[in-house]
Amino acid sequence: MKSQRTFGWIQNPANTSTLQHVVAALDANSKVTQWLLNERIPLLKNNNLLHDTDEWDNYIKFLQSGQSIPYSALKGKGCGGGKRKDAKCSGIIQAVIDAQKIITVKICGADTEMHKPYSDDWTADGFLRWGISIGFIKYNQDDDTCQISESGKQFINASNEEFNEILGKAYLSYPPVCRILQLLSAGEHLTKFELGKNLGFTSEAGFTSFPQNIWAQAYHEHPQDRTIIRNNYEGSSDKYARMICSWLKEIGWVNIAEKHVTEQYAGKSYSCGISQAYTITALGKINYKRATGKSSLARIPKLVFFGMLSTKPSDKDYLRLRRALIIKYTEKDYRNLAQIKDFLASHGLDETIETIKDDLLGLTNIGLNYNCKSNCYKLTDEIQCLQIPNGNDFSKGDTSLIKDRIRPHLKHLNQKYLALIDLSLNGKANLEFEIQTLDLLTNELNFKGKHLGGSRRPDGIISYKINGLIIDNKAYSKGYAIPRHQIDEMVRYLQENNERREEINPNKWWNEFDNDVAIFNFAFISSYFTGQFMPRLNEIKNRTGINGAVINIENLLLVAEALKRGELTYPDFFKLFDCNNNISFHLNS
């Protein structure tokens, strides 16, 4: 099954002038198109910078005939097996956007320095998705082609006076903009983290938010890394929030101003300024009323693309189908949860009430307006562009099946921690998996402790009174077998903690434990465990005299729920890790 393109979530493009040029490249009569044909393409050809000249001949034919243009021809290709810096221009939109790098080209036979006259496919794709997501470019899902829309034509021909009005109207058709305006409409000064944690389907990867108190702790305690922390320590939803606010600042709907925060973490107080923080303006409030139908102007229909309804999970198309069906079923009438469940079942989707509640919350968090009366739900927005693909073999993946098993049991635990299941199976998400696990243990469950990470440190530690736990997180799609070097690493941490001598490790990470912590265990946390992990746990015990355990993320969430309910005490939590075994946990109900 071919996955649908993910439209509706934008992390990087922000230059609206460049967006205007990108949209204009789909109009045969625009100045940008004439510039492409008469100046840019000849420049690329003459300097041997085109990947395939036939692509450009086809582009001209598409424009002249009024046909839609294939998405692949607009986006272009990546660098393949070569180096990105050596990749030639292979997409129409690549040729519209200058890169930052300065290169030398020949113009009229003379060497001339200029910005590289084309971008990469990733940048081109970002601008394309931006244009599609706010309605300036029409996307045909059936044949994967694009053409300029009527609002796109208005945008590329807008006068200076019209520019912001046309752009603002397009933004109001984009649900996440409406969600950001809603969150800011109470008048609070909110950081990207405070916005991000309430944006999107927060119980799955693709919509994670960096815990603000952990960010403040890292920023305060690692001044040498502050540039990295400012630029890189954010979740996907934090990036979306930051990008949307930058758009809205340009048209005067949002102000950006540093917010001074004081956060509590690991028993300490951390104060710092967060520059990416936002307030709504009077103009923003007026337009938020327009988005909700509370102004004299008609509410603007919302553009919702199938690919917008999930981004990263391996079974994202199944999740998109489920959520699209819920949208369509709740568009005209009020529906209770049992009716929605039966409707999904009639389409072959067997889902729990808890899952449906989670999806309804997520649909609200992406910016759709729902009315709820007597536990019945009705979508009050007019939806456009939502097309369910025909003939696809939608199937539920292992990640969703795990969530199905445990979601009904999680009555007290914040549902956002279900995203840990996705993260635990993503080998590229190790850092985020570590941070979100420590967020669960410290912020949700109130253990003392913190994320450590980095060179010659455990991933994290937690404690409660006299008990301490040294944690090693590992995200693996095919399970974790605890290789030899990880055994040695854990042994080293346990020995360092026992000896506590600066000469064996100058960073003295063990000082993060409170002085009264006297009993220690260790834990490996992963998606699931494979191989001969029990003999390896016993080896660690034999070399250090300390017991530990492995626990998969499903069982950790069940343990967390038991702690929240009061069915498990904190001392008994640590006893679970005193077994040299795989922890398997069952709730009382």
Residues with active-site annotation: 459, 472, 474
Give residue 1's Cα distance to chain centre.
23
Cα angle at 377 between 376 and 379, to 5 degrees?
160
Strand, helix or coil for residue 512: helix
Backbone phi and psi for residue 531, each to the nearest 5 degrees, phi listed first? 70, -165
Give residue 87's Cα distance to chain centre.
28
- Radius of gyration for the chain, computed over Cα atoms and rounded to the nearest angstrom: 27
Cα 310 to Cα 6: distance, rounded to the nearest angstrom: 8
**AA letter at 460:** G
In 500-550, which residue ranges form alpha helices assigned H by DSSP? 533-544
Cα 316 to Cα 312: distance, rounded to the nearest angstrom: 6
Q: In what order do the strands lie in the sheet with 335-336?
A: 335-336, 376-379, 370-373
Q: In what order do the strands lie in the sheet with 519-526?
A: 448-451, 460-464, 467-474, 519-526, 548-552, 581-582
Distances (CA, A) of 164 to 82, 170, 179: 41, 10, 20
Neighbour tally for 21: CB within 10 Å: 21
Residue 137: closest CA among 90, 89, 182, 92: 92
